[in-house]
Structure 1
Amino acid sequence: MILPVIMAGGSGTRLWPLSRTLYPKQFLSLTSESTMLQDTLQRLEKVEHQPPFIICNESHRFIVAEQLRKANLKHSGILLEPVGRNTAPAVALAALYANRNNNDPLLLVLAADHVINNTDAFAESIKNAIHLANNNHLVTFGIVPDKPEVGYGYIKKGNEISSNAYQVDAFVEKPNLDKAQHYIEDGHYLWNSGMFMFKASVFLKELEKFRPDILSACKASLEMPETDLDFIRLHQDNFRNCPDDSIDYAVMEKTDSAIVIPLDANWSDVGSWSSLWDISNKDSSGNFVRGDVIIDSSSRSYVYSQHRLVAAVGVEDLIIVETKDALLVAQRDQVQKVKNIVSKLKQAERSEHIQHREVFRPWGSHDTIAEGDRYQVKHVVIKPGQKTAIQVHHHRAEHWVVVSGTAKVYYDEKTYLVAENESTFIPIGVAHAIENPGKIPLEIIEVRSGVYLEEDDVIRISSSGAGY
């Protein structure tokens, strides 16, 4: 049976300010009420498969687990990469782990951040690939292009070996516009989707042939994996020493066993704000709006509001995206330069490219709603049955006001309950934690005061709840 391998390790910021390093696009709800990760798993319903195997960055582990839980999606494990090393090592880890008992499943490698609207065509292409993969071919899925696109690599079809399946003649780098137009007119070129199907053993054999250094490092990383609940952790030093390479460069461009199946399923990798505008449902003036938005005398624009009213008057071909801590305004044909803004944020050592104002934790979330030189106010939500880490601060005191639910407070060696409309004070240097013993979310307003209010002023005495 097919074992889907979901690559959820990306941390791109081309969709900034929605996408951040610690909350990238695969965890966002961009084209439906579900997140892109949830959509990726749910579209597999039409294909018989084992529970998917997820690969993600260590820093995204709780987001992945929570999104799977919320959507009631089963999985075969969540493998955590301590650092990103591209797709070849990631797929090698999945193949090695899946084949540890010589089960040799068919791996269906999918990215967690693609949009595929025609799920019937998607499922049919997967079914057509099964017999080819079982016959030791490495199958990739090429998207049937509908326009010249300079943002994708291409696959040139070779000889047809069976109905709607072709030998791979060549992998082609991202072209300029003239070459892309030639590829469309030629009719033998497909967009490279980055989706694959093959036996675990066949991929490992080809990887050993062409990149034995990657295979060796991945084997060493998995010699003694640590399991923690649903998480599988690698040997960090061994994986950090693994070469960085894509599956295309490492294997697919070199192997004689590559087969491409054309896929015409209304696909997009949502690589920019303009591509998201392309696939969004627009009004008669070509506008897409989401959130608290009022628009007038405007056309061909994408306007997204996350937190407050956004009004647009007389604008054309704009991308306007508002979050709690940032506002992006860009010409629709200039959105590739969003990466320049992210670079400037990094150079200025600002945090807006790393995470949102609202930060999610295993126990809940916290959102900074006001701050000044010596104070900071947070809205903290703790899920039922959850608890923060026991911790100490050396430079700040905290005042907690319960606005909903009941809090169980840990204060040095004692514990006590704080009900709605009650408060408690935590002085500097006192070990403390807060727990939600109830059945509804616990909401508190936390007022921090002191000379230093940053998150690194903390000593965790216990890690239950993972703190913040």
Structure 2
Amino acid sequence: MITPVLLAGGSGTRLWPVSRARFPKQFAALVGEESLFQAAARRFDAPGFTAPLVVTAEEFRFIAAEQLDRAGVPAQGLILEPFPRNTAGAALAAALYLSRGGPEGLILVVPSDQLIPDAAAFRAAVELGIPAASDGRIVTFGITPTRAETGYGWLECGEPSHPGVETLVRFIEKPAADLAGRLLANPRCLWNSGLFLVRADVLLGAAARHVPELLAAAREAVTEASADLGFIRLSAGPWSRVADISIDHAIMERVSNLSVVRHDGVWADLGSWAAVLEQAPRDRTGTALQGHATAVECENTLLRSDSDGIELVGIGLKNVVAVATRDAVLVADIGCSQAVRLAVETLRARAVPQATAFARELRPWGWYETIGAGERFQVKRIHVHPGAALSLQSHLHRSEHWVVVQGTARVTVGDRVCLVSENQSIYVPLGEVHRLENPGRVPMVLIEVQTGSYLGEDDIVRYEDRYARE
């Protein structure tokens, strides 16, 4: 049995405004109806594979858990990094955790932000690598290249090590254009997918030889980890000593027991809007429409609107990406889509909220979004899942007025508990202890009007919280 380890802690910016630091691309539906993370989980929901182990960031824990639930794929655990430490620490933490059940178990390390449409074909490639991995080799997966790509790392293959498996001669960093052209012409050269299959003890042994301090810190973080609401929280102190380095640089480029399995199917690291356009369904002009979008006489263009209230229309556009969300719009030449991260850095420098956060903020109990704000007031729409509850809390600087527009709310205000149904309202005075719950079987939605001298989200004093937030 192979245990998939889904790495889901990244926070990329090149697919802004759909991907942001608070909701990165692995959790977004970029091509199709499900997120890349959900697709990665379902890809290995098949005979021969155990339930996945997920490694993600603390702030993404409820997003990951909810998306796994919607995908119908139960995880055997969700490991939470107190802060990001790149792929080496994440992979080693997973190997250490899994090695307790059998040090020779096979693990498949899977970045969860890649597009691999043919799951069965990729599982077949993984199965080809089992004998080599069982014999103590680290098996990587190379993608048959279709262009002289400068944004990917490459692999150079050598002689066979096992049936259907070749030795790995060398890793090649993201090449310049002239080198990429030569690599494309060499049948021994493949794109590096970043996935690998290995026995847990083999990976840990390689780490002990090449990055012993990193391994020691990761081991201590796992040993001192705590269980919380079904999550596995790595210990923050030791984790702070884990080097911020990729698994390729830390281990793969330093060992000699490497093999490669070729995958000839479609694979994409959706690292830019140009890559999304390439993989999205397109019409005869090469134009792709996503969401509420219309194209007139456009060519090689991506138009996407994620907001029900925004109809995006493109006329006479060529080689353009235009993406609209409720609170931000991106328009760029498709050839410049790799520069989106530079725009995000500019927005961050100006402290623009849209650089990192959405108008709709996800919470373990549901979500809220700001629909209006002004001097000393703010209006929000709050959606609470069936059976969910907000924390028992109070505010130092604001009062709140709640109007239920869907479902029924159970409201605690001070010592009073009451049910508030559709078209009914209730007032929460400044400083009063209160709680909002949804006791029903359908989502509950209310409009909240906040008034006061300070309306920031950090004006919360929590007394009880079923989600263990501070």
TM-score range, shorter chain: over 0.9
Tell whether 2:131 aligns with 1:131.
yes
The answer to whether the 8 Å contact 2:132/2:162 transfers is no
Instruction: Tell me the alpha carbon deviations over residues 176-217 of structure 1, each in whole angstroms, 9 at most, x when there is no partner.
Output: 111100101122211111000010001101110111011100
Q: Displaced runs of 4+ in structure 1, greater than 3 A?
A: 465-468
1:328-407 equivalence runs, <5 A? 328-407=330-409
Q: Give the conservation status (yes or no) of the 8 Å contact 1:387–1:434.
A: yes
2:294–2:312 contact (8 Å) kept in structure 1: yes
> Who is 1:11 aligned against?
11
CA distance in structure 2 between the aligned counterparts of 1:87 and 1:374, rounded to whole angstroms: 44
Counterpart residue type for residue 367 of structure 1 = E
- Contact 2:3-2:108 within 8 A present in 1 as well: yes
Code of the residue aligned with 1:89 in structure 2: it is G
Q: In the alignment, is residue 413 of structure 1 matched against residue 415 of structure 2? A: yes
- Paired residue secondary structure (2:160): strand
Do the aligned partners of residues 128 and 40 (structure 1) sit closer, same or farther apart at CA in structure 2, a change above 3 Å counting?
same
Task: Report sequence identity in percent.
Answer: 37
Deviation at 1:247, TM superposition (A): 1.1
Does 2:313 match 1:311? yes
Deviations 1:393-447 (A, max 9, x none): 1211110000111111111122111111000111111111101111111110001
Q: Secondary structure in 2 aligned to 1:282?
A: coil
* Aligned position for 2:155: 155
Q: Deviations over 1:96-121 (max 9, x none)?
A: 10011335310011111110122232
Identify the match of residue 442 of structure 2 among 417, 440, 445.
440
Deviation, 1:162, is 3.1
Deviates more, 1:54-63 or 1:227-236: 227-236
Letter matched to residue 371 of structure 2: I
- 1:323 aligned partner: 325
Cross-structure match for 2:202? 202
Distance, in Å, in 1 between the alignment partners of 2:393 and 2:52 is 36
Could you tell me how far apart the structure 2 residues matched to 1:118 and 1:184 are? 23
**Distance in structure 2 (CA, Å) of the matches to 1:117 and 1:173:** 26
Given candidates 416, 426, 429, the residue that maps to 1:427 is 429
Note if contact 2:438-2:444 (Cα within 8 Å) is conserved in structure 1.
yes
Give the gaps of 5 or more residues in structure 1: none
CA contact (8 A) 1:321 1:328 kept: yes
C-alpha separation in 2, matches of 1:297 and 1:250: 49
**What residue identity is the alignment partner of 1:90?**
A
For residue 234 of structure 1, what is the aligned residue in structure 2?
Answer: 234
Quote how far apart the aligned CAs of 1:45 are. 3.6
SS at match of 1:456: coil
Alpha-carbon distance between aligned partners in 1 of 2:295 and 2:413, rounded to the nearest angstrom: 51
TM-score, structure 2 length as denominator?
A: 0.97
Count of residues in Structure 1 that have an aligned counterpart in Structure 2: 468
Contact 1:61 1:80 in 2 (8 A): yes
The residue number in structure 2 matching 1:43 is: 43
Query: How far off is 1:350 after superposition?
Result: 1.9
> SS of the residue aligned with 1:97?
helix
Residue 304 of structure 1: how far off its partner (Å): 0.4
Contact 1:388 1:466 in 2 (8 A): no
TM superposition shift of 1:75: 1.3
Give me the CA root mean square deviation.
1.3
Shift of 1:451: 2.0
| 1:452 corresponding residue in structure 2 | 454
Measure how far apart 1:47 and its partner are: 4.8
